Amino acid sequence: MLDIRFIREHADVIQEVAQQKRIAISIPDLLVCDEKKRELLQMVEGLRSQRNSLSQQISVLVREGKQGEIAGIREQVKGVNEQLTVVEADLALVEAEFGQMMQLVPNVVAPDTPIGESDADNVEVKRVGDIPEFDYEFLDHVTLGEKHGMIDIPRGVKVAGTRNYFLKGDGLLLHRAVQQMTLDYLVERGFTPMDVPLIVRAEALDGTGFFPLGEDTTFKMYDEGKWLVGTSEVPLVSYYRDEIVDLEEPIRMAGVSTCFRSEVGSAGKDVRGLYRVHQFAKVEQVLFCENNPEVSERLLEEMTQHAEAILQMLELPYRLVAVCTGDMSQKTYKQYDIETWMPSRDSYGETHSSSNLHDFQARRSNIRYRDKEGKLQYCHTLNNTAVASPRILIPLLENHQQPDGSIYIPKALRPYMGNREAIIRIVEL
Protein backbone atom coordinates (compact mmCIF):
# COMPACT_ATOMS: atom_id res chain seq x y z
CA MET A 1 0.00 0.00 0.00
CA LEU A 2 1.17 3.50 -0.78
CA ASP A 3 0.72 6.61 1.35
CA ILE A 4 -2.26 8.57 0.01
CA ARG A 5 -0.17 11.76 0.17
CA PHE A 6 2.37 10.12 -2.14
CA ILE A 7 -0.44 9.05 -4.47
CA ARG A 8 -1.81 12.62 -4.64
CA GLU A 9 1.64 13.93 -5.58
CA HIS A 10 2.45 11.20 -8.13
CA ALA A 11 -0.96 10.35 -9.58
CA ASP A 12 0.13 10.27 -13.24
CA VAL A 13 3.13 8.05 -12.53
CA ILE A 14 1.07 5.58 -10.49
CA GLN A 15 -1.65 5.44 -13.15
CA GLU A 16 1.00 4.62 -15.75
CA VAL A 17 2.43 1.85 -13.55
CA ALA A 18 -1.07 0.43 -13.04
CA GLN A 19 -1.53 0.23 -16.80
CA GLN A 20 1.88 -1.41 -17.23
CA LYS A 21 1.06 -3.95 -14.52
CA ARG A 22 -2.43 -4.46 -16.01
CA ILE A 23 -4.27 -3.47 -12.83
CA ALA A 24 -7.75 -2.04 -13.32
CA ILE A 25 -7.63 1.00 -11.07
CA SER A 26 -8.43 4.63 -11.89
CA ILE A 27 -6.21 6.89 -9.83
CA PRO A 28 -8.30 9.98 -10.71
CA ASP A 29 -11.40 8.19 -9.37
CA LEU A 30 -9.47 7.27 -6.24
CA LEU A 31 -8.51 10.90 -5.68
CA VAL A 32 -12.15 12.00 -6.14
CA CYS A 33 -13.12 9.43 -3.52
CA ASP A 34 -10.30 10.65 -1.28
CA GLU A 35 -11.51 14.24 -1.55
CA LYS A 36 -15.09 13.22 -0.79
CA LYS A 37 -13.91 11.20 2.21
CA ARG A 38 -11.98 14.15 3.57
CA GLU A 39 -14.97 16.47 3.12
CA LEU A 40 -17.31 14.08 4.91
CA LEU A 41 -14.77 13.52 7.67
CA GLN A 42 -14.52 17.28 8.16
CA MET A 43 -18.30 17.47 8.34
CA VAL A 44 -18.44 14.67 10.90
CA GLU A 45 -15.78 16.32 13.04
CA GLY A 46 -17.61 19.65 12.80
CA LEU A 47 -20.92 18.14 13.84
CA ARG A 48 -19.30 16.26 16.72
CA SER A 49 -17.63 19.46 17.87
CA GLN A 50 -20.96 21.28 17.67
CA ARG A 51 -22.66 18.54 19.67
CA ASN A 52 -19.95 18.64 22.33
CA SER A 53 -20.27 22.41 22.59
CA LEU A 54 -24.05 22.16 23.02
CA SER A 55 -23.66 19.41 25.63
CA GLN A 56 -21.27 21.61 27.59
CA GLN A 57 -23.82 24.42 27.46
CA ILE A 58 -26.44 22.09 28.93
CA SER A 59 -24.06 21.14 31.76
CA VAL A 60 -23.48 24.82 32.56
CA LEU A 61 -27.24 25.56 32.53
CA VAL A 62 -27.92 22.61 34.83
CA ARG A 63 -25.33 23.88 37.32
CA GLU A 64 -26.81 27.37 37.13
CA GLY A 65 -30.36 26.03 37.57
CA LYS A 66 -31.61 27.53 34.29
CA GLN A 67 -33.91 24.62 33.46
CA GLY A 68 -36.08 26.66 31.13
CA GLU A 69 -33.27 27.14 28.59
CA ILE A 70 -32.21 23.49 28.48
CA ALA A 71 -35.08 22.14 26.37
CA GLY A 72 -34.23 24.33 23.38
CA ILE A 73 -30.59 23.31 23.40
CA ARG A 74 -31.50 19.64 23.73
CA GLU A 75 -33.63 20.05 20.61
CA GLN A 76 -30.57 21.44 18.84
CA VAL A 77 -28.54 18.42 20.01
CA LYS A 78 -31.22 16.12 18.61
CA GLY A 79 -31.01 17.87 15.24
CA VAL A 80 -27.21 17.64 15.20
CA ASN A 81 -27.38 13.92 16.05
CA GLU A 82 -29.79 13.32 13.18
CA GLN A 83 -27.44 15.08 10.76
CA LEU A 84 -24.48 13.20 12.20
CA THR A 85 -26.18 9.84 11.69
CA VAL A 86 -26.69 10.60 8.01
CA VAL A 87 -23.20 11.97 7.39
CA GLU A 88 -21.50 9.13 9.32
CA ALA A 89 -23.38 6.60 7.20
CA ASP A 90 -22.25 8.39 4.04
CA LEU A 91 -18.68 8.48 5.36
CA ALA A 92 -18.73 4.76 6.12
CA LEU A 93 -19.76 3.99 2.53
CA VAL A 94 -17.13 6.28 1.06
CA GLU A 95 -14.41 4.89 3.37
CA ALA A 96 -15.30 1.35 2.30
CA GLU A 97 -15.06 2.36 -1.38
CA PHE A 98 -11.80 4.19 -0.70
CA GLY A 99 -10.35 1.16 1.11
CA GLN A 100 -11.24 -1.17 -1.74
CA MET A 101 -9.62 1.12 -4.28
CA MET A 102 -6.50 1.57 -2.17
CA GLN A 103 -6.09 -2.21 -2.09
CA LEU A 104 -5.66 -2.13 -5.88
CA VAL A 105 -3.08 0.65 -6.11
CA PRO A 106 0.22 -0.80 -7.38
CA ASN A 107 3.62 -0.18 -5.95
CA VAL A 108 5.77 2.12 -8.06
CA VAL A 109 8.74 0.56 -9.83
CA ALA A 110 12.46 1.24 -9.69
CA PRO A 111 13.81 3.67 -12.31
CA ASP A 112 15.93 0.90 -13.86
CA THR A 113 13.00 -1.51 -14.26
CA PRO A 114 12.54 -2.47 -17.94
CA ILE A 115 9.24 -1.46 -19.53
CA GLY A 116 7.44 -4.39 -21.13
CA GLU A 117 4.28 -6.45 -21.38
CA SER A 118 5.35 -10.00 -20.46
CA ASP A 119 8.28 -12.20 -19.49
CA ALA A 120 9.36 -12.03 -23.14
CA ASP A 121 10.38 -8.43 -22.42
CA ASN A 122 12.54 -9.22 -19.39
CA VAL A 123 16.13 -8.10 -19.89
CA GLU A 124 19.01 -10.51 -19.50
CA VAL A 125 21.65 -9.27 -17.08
CA LYS A 126 24.13 -12.15 -17.31
CA ARG A 127 24.61 -15.85 -18.03
CA VAL A 128 26.57 -18.24 -15.84
CA GLY A 129 27.68 -21.77 -16.73
CA ASP A 130 27.86 -23.74 -19.93
CA ILE A 131 24.79 -25.26 -21.58
CA PRO A 132 25.40 -29.01 -21.91
CA GLU A 133 25.78 -30.57 -25.33
CA PHE A 134 24.58 -34.16 -25.56
CA ASP A 135 26.16 -36.50 -28.11
CA TYR A 136 23.46 -39.05 -27.29
CA GLU A 137 19.68 -38.90 -27.06
CA PHE A 138 19.00 -37.16 -23.79
CA LEU A 139 15.96 -37.92 -21.64
CA ASP A 140 13.63 -35.44 -20.00
CA HIS A 141 13.14 -35.40 -16.22
CA VAL A 142 9.90 -37.39 -16.39
CA THR A 143 11.50 -40.27 -18.30
CA LEU A 144 14.60 -40.15 -16.12
CA GLY A 145 12.47 -40.10 -12.99
CA GLU A 146 10.43 -43.08 -14.13
CA LYS A 147 13.49 -45.10 -15.14
CA HIS A 148 15.07 -44.49 -11.74
CA GLY A 149 11.87 -45.07 -9.79
CA MET A 150 11.92 -41.44 -8.55
CA ILE A 151 8.78 -39.85 -10.00
CA ASP A 152 5.28 -41.22 -10.51
CA ILE A 153 2.95 -38.70 -12.15
CA PRO A 154 0.17 -41.07 -13.36
CA ARG A 155 -0.54 -42.24 -9.82
CA GLY A 156 -0.34 -38.65 -8.59
CA VAL A 157 -3.07 -37.75 -11.07
CA LYS A 158 -5.08 -40.85 -10.11
CA VAL A 159 -4.99 -39.89 -6.44
CA ALA A 160 -5.22 -36.08 -6.57
CA GLY A 161 -5.98 -34.93 -10.12
CA THR A 162 -3.94 -33.03 -12.67
CA ARG A 163 -0.66 -31.32 -11.75
CA ASN A 164 0.00 -33.77 -8.92
CA TYR A 165 2.75 -36.36 -8.50
CA PHE A 166 4.52 -38.77 -6.18
CA LEU A 167 8.23 -38.46 -5.38
CA LYS A 168 9.79 -41.67 -4.11
CA GLY A 169 13.15 -43.26 -3.46
CA ASP A 170 15.99 -41.09 -4.70
CA GLY A 171 13.45 -38.57 -5.99
CA LEU A 172 12.34 -37.76 -2.47
CA LEU A 173 15.91 -37.87 -1.15
CA LEU A 174 17.03 -35.41 -3.83
CA HIS A 175 14.00 -33.19 -3.14
CA ARG A 176 14.90 -33.02 0.55
CA ALA A 177 18.64 -32.78 -0.07
CA VAL A 178 18.44 -29.54 -2.08
CA GLN A 179 16.26 -28.01 0.62
CA GLN A 180 18.56 -29.00 3.48
CA MET A 181 21.67 -27.89 1.60
CA THR A 182 20.03 -24.52 0.96
CA LEU A 183 18.86 -24.13 4.55
CA ASP A 184 22.32 -24.95 5.89
CA TYR A 185 23.85 -22.39 3.52
CA LEU A 186 21.48 -19.64 4.71
CA VAL A 187 21.82 -20.47 8.41
CA GLU A 188 25.59 -20.13 8.07
CA ARG A 189 24.95 -16.60 6.78
CA GLY A 190 22.86 -15.44 9.69
CA PHE A 191 19.35 -16.43 8.64
CA THR A 192 16.93 -17.70 11.27
CA PRO A 193 15.30 -20.94 10.06
CA MET A 194 11.51 -20.88 10.38
CA ASP A 195 8.84 -23.56 10.07
CA VAL A 196 5.63 -21.68 9.30
CA PRO A 197 1.84 -22.15 9.31
CA LEU A 198 0.57 -23.34 5.94
CA ILE A 199 -2.99 -22.17 6.63
CA VAL A 200 -3.47 -18.43 7.18
CA ARG A 201 -6.21 -15.88 7.67
CA ALA A 202 -7.23 -13.65 4.78
CA GLU A 203 -5.68 -10.68 6.63
CA ALA A 204 -2.22 -12.21 6.17
CA LEU A 205 -2.73 -12.41 2.40
CA ASP A 206 -4.19 -8.90 2.29
CA GLY A 207 -1.33 -7.52 4.35
CA THR A 208 1.37 -9.07 2.15
CA GLY A 209 -0.26 -7.91 -1.09
CA PHE A 210 -1.38 -11.30 -2.41
CA PHE A 211 -5.05 -10.36 -2.03
CA PRO A 212 -7.30 -9.18 -3.55
CA LEU A 213 -5.65 -9.64 -6.97
CA GLY A 214 -4.25 -13.12 -6.30
CA GLU A 215 -7.30 -14.64 -4.68
CA ASP A 216 -8.13 -16.85 -7.68
CA THR A 217 -4.69 -18.51 -7.54
CA THR A 218 -5.03 -19.48 -3.87
CA PHE A 219 -6.72 -22.54 -2.38
CA LYS A 220 -9.42 -21.67 0.15
CA MET A 221 -10.20 -23.90 3.12
CA TYR A 222 -13.84 -24.93 2.93
CA ASP A 223 -16.08 -22.81 5.18
CA GLU A 224 -13.11 -21.72 7.30
CA GLY A 225 -12.26 -18.24 6.03
CA LYS A 226 -8.66 -19.41 5.81
CA TRP A 227 -6.33 -20.13 2.92
CA LEU A 228 -3.38 -22.36 1.98
CA VAL A 229 -0.21 -20.38 1.40
CA GLY A 230 1.56 -20.26 -1.95
CA THR A 231 4.79 -19.12 -0.31
CA SER A 232 6.17 -18.82 3.21
CA GLU A 233 6.63 -15.10 2.47
CA VAL A 234 3.02 -14.68 3.64
CA PRO A 235 3.38 -16.06 7.19
CA LEU A 236 6.94 -14.74 7.57
CA VAL A 237 6.02 -11.13 6.82
CA SER A 238 2.80 -11.51 8.84
CA TYR A 239 4.85 -12.79 11.79
CA TYR A 240 5.50 -9.13 12.65
CA ARG A 241 2.08 -7.77 11.66
CA ASP A 242 1.00 -4.80 13.83
CA GLU A 243 4.35 -4.78 15.65
CA ILE A 244 7.27 -2.42 16.15
CA VAL A 245 10.47 -4.34 15.36
CA ASP A 246 14.12 -3.80 16.21
CA LEU A 247 16.03 -3.05 13.02
CA GLU A 248 19.45 -2.24 14.41
CA GLU A 249 20.46 -5.02 12.01
CA PRO A 250 18.33 -6.35 9.13
CA ILE A 251 16.07 -9.26 10.06
CA ARG A 252 16.89 -12.33 7.96
CA MET A 253 14.53 -15.31 7.97
CA ALA A 254 14.64 -18.56 6.01
CA GLY A 255 11.20 -20.12 5.75
CA VAL A 256 10.82 -23.80 4.99
CA SER A 257 7.37 -24.83 3.84
CA THR A 258 5.14 -26.76 1.55
CA CYS A 259 3.30 -24.40 -0.81
CA PHE A 260 0.03 -24.65 -2.73
CA ARG A 261 -1.13 -22.86 -5.86
CA SER A 262 -4.26 -23.41 -7.90
CA GLU A 263 -2.54 -22.39 -11.18
CA VAL A 264 -5.74 -20.76 -12.46
CA GLY A 265 -5.17 -19.41 -15.95
CA SER A 266 -2.45 -21.93 -16.82
CA ALA A 267 -4.70 -24.51 -18.50
CA GLY A 268 -2.74 -26.20 -21.26
CA LYS A 269 0.58 -24.68 -20.15
CA ASP A 270 3.46 -26.86 -18.95
CA VAL A 271 1.19 -29.88 -18.59
CA ARG A 272 4.00 -32.44 -18.76
CA GLY A 273 6.24 -33.00 -15.81
CA LEU A 274 7.02 -31.06 -12.66
CA TYR A 275 7.31 -27.47 -13.90
CA ARG A 276 3.84 -26.26 -12.93
CA VAL A 277 2.25 -28.23 -10.08
CA HIS A 278 -0.26 -27.60 -7.31
CA GLN A 279 1.99 -28.61 -4.41
CA PHE A 280 5.68 -27.93 -3.96
CA ALA A 281 8.26 -27.02 -1.33
CA LYS A 282 10.38 -23.90 -0.93
CA VAL A 283 13.13 -22.43 1.14
CA GLU A 284 12.37 -18.71 1.11
CA GLN A 285 14.51 -15.74 2.11
CA VAL A 286 12.52 -12.93 3.75
CA LEU A 287 14.27 -9.78 4.95
CA PHE A 288 13.26 -6.66 6.87
CA CYS A 289 15.42 -3.55 6.84
CA GLU A 290 15.23 0.17 7.54
CA ASN A 291 13.28 2.47 5.22
CA ASN A 292 16.33 3.31 3.13
CA PRO A 293 16.38 2.59 -0.63
CA GLU A 294 20.15 2.18 -0.66
CA VAL A 295 20.04 -0.44 2.10
CA SER A 296 17.21 -2.46 0.55
CA GLU A 297 18.88 -2.30 -2.88
CA ARG A 298 22.06 -3.72 -1.35
CA LEU A 299 20.09 -6.49 0.34
CA LEU A 300 18.30 -7.30 -2.93
CA GLU A 301 21.68 -7.88 -4.55
CA GLU A 302 22.86 -9.86 -1.53
CA MET A 303 19.97 -12.31 -1.42
CA THR A 304 20.05 -12.73 -5.21
CA GLN A 305 23.71 -13.67 -4.89
CA HIS A 306 22.70 -16.29 -2.31
CA ALA A 307 20.32 -17.85 -4.84
CA GLU A 308 23.03 -17.76 -7.50
CA ALA A 309 25.50 -19.40 -5.11
CA ILE A 310 23.02 -22.23 -4.51
CA LEU A 311 22.68 -22.85 -8.26
CA GLN A 312 26.45 -22.81 -8.58
CA MET A 313 26.65 -25.40 -5.79
CA LEU A 314 24.20 -27.49 -7.83
CA GLU A 315 26.50 -26.99 -10.85
CA LEU A 316 23.68 -25.74 -13.07
CA PRO A 317 23.81 -23.18 -15.90
CA TYR A 318 21.51 -20.21 -15.43
CA ARG A 319 20.84 -16.64 -16.40
CA LEU A 320 19.78 -13.60 -14.39
CA VAL A 321 17.08 -11.33 -15.83
CA ALA A 322 15.67 -7.97 -14.79
CA VAL A 323 11.90 -8.36 -14.67
CA CYS A 324 9.86 -5.88 -16.70
CA THR A 325 6.79 -3.95 -15.53
CA GLY A 326 4.29 -6.23 -17.28
CA ASP A 327 5.70 -9.34 -15.61
CA MET A 328 5.66 -7.81 -12.11
CA SER A 329 3.07 -8.25 -9.40
CA GLN A 330 1.17 -5.35 -7.83
CA LYS A 331 3.42 -5.29 -4.76
CA THR A 332 6.85 -5.32 -6.39
CA TYR A 333 9.19 -2.33 -6.67
CA LYS A 334 12.13 -4.16 -8.28
CA GLN A 335 12.59 -7.78 -9.26
CA TYR A 336 15.15 -10.20 -10.63
CA ASP A 337 14.35 -13.69 -11.87
CA ILE A 338 16.86 -16.49 -12.19
CA GLU A 339 16.19 -18.94 -14.99
CA THR A 340 17.97 -22.29 -15.08
CA TRP A 341 18.71 -24.18 -18.28
CA MET A 342 16.24 -27.03 -18.88
CA PRO A 343 17.25 -29.24 -21.84
CA SER A 344 13.74 -30.66 -22.34
CA ARG A 345 12.41 -27.12 -22.84
CA ASP A 346 15.45 -26.13 -24.92
CA SER A 347 15.41 -22.91 -22.95
CA TYR A 348 15.88 -21.37 -19.55
CA GLY A 349 13.01 -21.82 -17.11
CA GLU A 350 12.31 -19.67 -14.06
CA THR A 351 13.47 -21.27 -10.81
CA HIS A 352 14.10 -18.28 -8.53
CA SER A 353 12.72 -14.80 -7.99
CA SER A 354 14.06 -11.87 -5.92
CA SER A 355 11.90 -8.88 -5.04
CA ASN A 356 12.35 -5.58 -3.23
CA LEU A 357 8.97 -4.21 -2.09
CA HIS A 358 10.14 -1.08 -0.26
CA ASP A 359 7.48 -0.30 2.41
CA PHE A 360 4.48 -1.55 0.40
CA GLN A 361 3.91 -4.69 2.52
CA ALA A 362 4.88 -3.03 5.78
CA ARG A 363 2.21 -0.35 5.32
CA ARG A 364 -0.45 -2.93 4.60
CA SER A 365 0.72 -5.09 7.51
CA ASN A 366 1.50 -2.17 9.86
CA ILE A 367 5.09 -3.21 10.59
CA ARG A 368 7.24 -0.36 11.87
CA TYR A 369 10.53 0.41 13.60
CA ARG A 370 12.03 3.41 15.34
CA ASP A 371 14.70 5.28 13.43
CA LYS A 372 17.74 6.92 15.05
CA GLU A 373 15.62 9.93 16.03
CA GLY A 374 13.02 7.67 17.65
CA LYS A 375 10.44 8.34 14.93
CA LEU A 376 8.27 5.43 13.79
CA GLN A 377 8.91 4.37 10.18
CA TYR A 378 7.58 1.57 8.00
CA CYS A 379 10.13 -1.15 7.18
CA HIS A 380 11.30 -2.23 3.77
CA THR A 381 10.67 -5.92 3.02
CA LEU A 382 12.34 -8.24 0.53
CA ASN A 383 11.94 -11.87 -0.50
CA ASN A 384 13.66 -14.47 -2.61
CA THR A 385 13.11 -18.08 -3.60
CA ALA A 386 16.31 -19.69 -2.38
CA VAL A 387 15.17 -23.01 -3.85
CA ALA A 388 11.85 -24.49 -4.98
CA SER A 389 11.35 -28.20 -5.50
CA PRO A 390 10.33 -30.24 -7.43
CA ARG A 391 10.88 -27.60 -10.15
CA ILE A 392 14.61 -27.55 -9.40
CA LEU A 393 14.66 -31.32 -10.04
CA ILE A 394 14.00 -30.63 -13.74
CA PRO A 395 17.41 -29.05 -14.47
CA LEU A 396 19.10 -31.14 -11.80
CA LEU A 397 18.13 -34.43 -13.46
CA GLU A 398 18.30 -33.29 -17.07
CA ASN A 399 21.61 -31.42 -17.02
CA HIS A 400 23.35 -34.08 -14.92
CA GLN A 401 22.25 -37.19 -16.83
CA GLN A 402 25.10 -39.30 -18.15
CA PRO A 403 25.45 -41.52 -21.25
CA ASP A 404 25.04 -44.74 -19.24
CA GLY A 405 21.67 -43.56 -17.85
CA SER A 406 23.00 -42.60 -14.43
CA ILE A 407 22.58 -39.14 -12.90
CA TYR A 408 25.58 -37.24 -11.60
CA ILE A 409 25.20 -35.85 -8.08
CA PRO A 410 26.87 -32.43 -7.60
CA LYS A 411 29.63 -32.43 -5.01
CA ALA A 412 27.78 -30.03 -2.68
CA LEU A 413 24.78 -32.37 -2.56
CA ARG A 414 26.68 -35.58 -1.86
CA PRO A 415 26.77 -35.22 1.94
CA TYR A 416 22.96 -35.14 1.81
CA MET A 417 22.75 -38.13 -0.55
CA GLY A 418 24.81 -40.71 1.32
CA ASN A 419 28.07 -39.42 -0.21
CA ARG A 420 27.15 -41.05 -3.52
CA GLU A 421 28.62 -39.66 -6.72
CA ALA A 422 25.71 -40.69 -8.91
CA ILE A 423 22.22 -42.17 -8.96
CA ILE A 424 22.63 -45.38 -10.89
CA ARG A 425 19.75 -47.69 -10.00
CA ILE A 426 17.65 -48.24 -13.10
CA VAL A 427 14.05 -49.36 -12.62
CA GLU A 428 12.05 -50.29 -15.70
CA LEU A 429 8.35 -49.70 -15.01
Shared-domain flag, residues 286 and 398: yes
Active site annotation includes 391: yes
Beta-bridged to residue 258, according to DSSP, are 281
Q: Does residue 111 belong to any structural domain of this protein?
A: no
Which of 290, 339, 350, 398 does the annotation list as catalytic? 350
Is the whole-model pTM more than 0.85?
yes
The four Cα atoms 59, 60, 66, 68 give a dihedral, to 10 degrees, of -50
Active site annotation includes 354: no
Which of 22, 48, 176, 276 does the annotation list as catalytic? 276
Domain that holds residue 29: 4-102
Which of 51, 252, 364, 391 does the annotation list as catalytic? 391
Q: Does residue 428 belong to any structural domain of this protein?
A: no
Shared-domain flag, residues 165 and 274: yes
Q: Does residue 114 belong to any structural domain of this protein?
A: no
Q: Does residue 107 belong to any structural domain of this protein?
A: no
Q: Does residue 340 belong to any structural domain of this protein?
A: yes
**Which tens digits make up the pLDDT trace of 110-134?**
999 999 999 999 999 999 999 999 9
Shared-domain flag, residues 257 and 339: yes
Q: Does residue 109 belong to any structural domain of this protein?
A: no
In the listed set 42, 76, 102, which residue is the last one of a domain according to the structure? 102
In the listed set 102, 137, 167, which residue is the last one of a domain according to the structure? 102
pLDDT given for residue 205 in this prediction: 97
Active site annotation includes 353: yes
In the listed set 70, 102, 134, which residue is the last one of a domain according to the structure? 102
Tell me if 379 sits within 8 A of 299, measured CB to CB: no
Confidence band for 20, pLDDT divided at 50, 70 and 90: very high
Which of 353, 354, 355, 389 does the annotation list as catalytic? 353
Active site annotation includes 261: yes
Q: Does residue 380 belong to any structural domain of this protein?
A: yes
Shared-domain flag, residues 88 and 126: no
Shared-domain flag, residues 157 and 14: no
Confidence band for 267, pLDDT divided at 50, 70 and 90: low
Residue 47 and residue 50: Cα distance in Å, rounded? 5
Identify the three-state secondary structure at position 280: strand
Shared-domain flag, residues 96 and 146: no
Confidence band for 61, pLDDT divided at 50, 70 and 90: confident
CATH, residue 73: 1.10.287.40
Residue 380 and residue 367: Cα distance in Å, rounded? 9
Q: Is the pLDDT of residue 264 over 90?
A: no
Q: Is the pLDDT of residue 68 over 90?
A: no
CATH, residue 337: 3.30.930.10
Active site annotation includes 266: no
Shared-domain flag, residues 18 and 51: yes
**Which tens digits make up the pLDDT trace of 362-418?**
999 999 999 999 999 999 999 999 999 999 999 999 999 999 999 999 999 999 999
Residues 6+ apart with CB under 8 A from 282: 231, 232, 255, 256, 257, 259, 385, 386, 387, 388, 389
Q: Is the pLDDT of residue 244 over 80?
A: yes
Residue 320 and residue 126: Cα distance in Å, rounded? 5
Q: Is the pLDDT of residue 428 over 60?
A: no
Shared-domain flag, residues 168 and 95: no
In 10 A of CB 271, how many CB atoms?
11
Q: Does residue 112 belong to any structural domain of this protein?
A: no
pLDDT given for residue 151 in this prediction: 96
Average pLDDT over residues 94-103: 96
Which of 261, 363, 364, 368 does the annotation list as catalytic? 261
pLDDT given for residue 429 in this prediction: 44
What crossing angle do the helices spanning 170-187 and 293-313 adopt, rounded to 10°?
140
Shared-domain flag, residues 332 and 262: yes
